[in-house]
Amino acid sequence: MDTQSPAETSADVWPQASGPRARYRAVRTHTDHLVRDLTPEDQGAQSMPDASPAKWHRAHTTWFFEQFILVPHMPGYAVFDETFCFLFNSYYEAVGARHPRPMRGLLTRPSAEQVSAYRAHVDAAMDRFLAAPLSPDLAGLVELGLNHEQQHQELLVTDMLHAFAQSPLRPAMARDGFAPDGAPGPTRFVPIKGGVHRIGQAGPGFCFDNETPAHDVLLRDFAIASRLVRNDVYQAFIADGAYATPTLWMSDGWATVQAQGWAGPLHWFEQDGTWWQMEPIGPRKLDPEAPVRHISWYEADAFARWAGARLPTEAEWEIASQDPGMREVDTHVWQWTDSAYRPYPGFSPVEGAVGEYNGKFMVNQMVLRGGSLATPTGHTRPTYRNFFHPDKRWQFSGLRLARDA
């Protein structure tokens, strides 16, 4: 049995992948690798409406290739099961009706074994499809599907972590991996010169549509922390009574703290006077020097206020990420910014169902930048815009501080 960590497997396989067939196989293999330690029962668990079962992630990413590539572009392709379009459509209104998201955990059928058969069926067809040259449009659609699967790979990890954290047994979803080393040394503030800067993606290579169009922004001089906020500093925030101090919080954040009974980051727990953190490898003693994670935007914003600083805007973050003084850019946690998730000037979603991928979510959410310990290798870039509602914290989300110059 393979004993490499998921992170090691990604790093070993993906740089060797050349051409769409090899890349397709590498990405799909990594998804299978992530569930290698999960039982069929594990794969059916759904711990909350925001999460999805591992089995569903595996099927949905397969449905994407079947629905958007094989069915319309491969003559003679035989659909694996007509009911799967209803079961595994996520939010594509143009495609049709779908099973309600909060009820995905009730899908005891198809079984995990049947989902594996579905993946094998689609993979075989995709392998034949990718053997022929692709038009630029089709190549772009395949690449979108692969990046879509990479997003679900991270969601699979965070969703299973949340499910296992609810169990008194606190099992591990993986034998090893998911523990990157932090940048050593003290945290300092790196000065960044203001002026007119260009952000967004304009060059070659894949990006999601929400990263476009590239455009100019005017920034004032500012400074940004060289490292992410650590657990020990966040513990000081807790010890200072921050979760009982309403003046530190936005009104909605304070209401959420009270309603949910928050007293610290998600997945922290105390046992015999020692703080622990639930991780993909199971419970682990809290490392005071590790970057804090599993906090909401409300918590990140309150912490910044308590620390006499602020969160960077997404434009500040993108420009600063290119400075060599800014460490831990994309390997530990997604970093909350002070920017609402809105379209860039001149943004226009692509036509058709895939145009629903990002555009219709550009409201009531906040932008995160960077990447996390569960983000697949090679999936991130400085222009990448992740987004979640401000109360969400089951993702690997943390923060770095910024200050006005």
In the predicted structure, residue 131 carries a pLDDT above the cut 70: yes
pTM for the whole structure: 0.94
The answer to whether the CB of 396 falls within 8 A of the CB of 158 is yes
88 neighbors 136 (Cβ within 8 angstroms): no
| Per-residue pLDDT at 15 | 41
pLDDT in tens, 232-285: 999 999 999 999 999 999 999 999 999 999 999 999 999 999 999 999 999 999
pLDDT at 231 over 90: yes
Give the pair of three-digit tokens for residue 8: 């090691």
pLDDT digits (tens, 9 = 90+) for 187-229: 999 999 999 999 999 988 999 999 999 999 999 999 999 999 9
Q: Tell me, rounded to whole angstroms, the distance of Cα 48 from its chain centroid.
A: 17
Residue 50's pLDDT is 97
Integer CA distances (angstroms), 238 to 231, 233, 306, in order: 10, 9, 10
Distance, in Å, from the CA atom of 207 to the CA atom of 382, rounded to the nearest integer, reads 11
Name the nearest CA neighbour of 316 among 240, 404, 394, 228.
404
Please report how the helices 54-65 and 20-34 are oriented relative to each other, as an axis angle in degrees rounded to 10. 160
Average pLDDT over residues 120-135: 97
State residue 17's pLDDT score.
56
One-letter amino acid at 255 equals: A
Residue scoring higher pLDDT (2 or 330): 330
DSSP assignment string, 210-233: GG-S-EEEEE--EEEESSPPBHHH
Report the distance separating Cα 23 and Cα 183, nearest Å. Answer: 31
Of 374, 298, 372, the residue nearest 333 (C-alpha):
372
Average pLDDT, the chain: 93
Q: What are residue 235's phi and psi, to 5 degrees?
A: -65, -35
* Three-state DSSP class for residue 190: strand
Percent of the chain with pLDDT over 90: 89
Digit-coded pLDDT (tens) for 182-196:
999 999 999 999 999
pLDDT of residue 9: 34
pLDDT of residue 351: 79
Q: Which two tokens stand for residue 31?
A: 């998804």
Asked if pLDDT for residue 2 goes beyond 60, the answer is: no
Identify the structural domains of the chain with CATH numbers, from first to last.
6-165 (1.20.120), 189-404 (3.90.1580.10)
**Residue 174's closest CA among 284, 35, 30, 277?**
35
Residues in the chain, overall count? 405
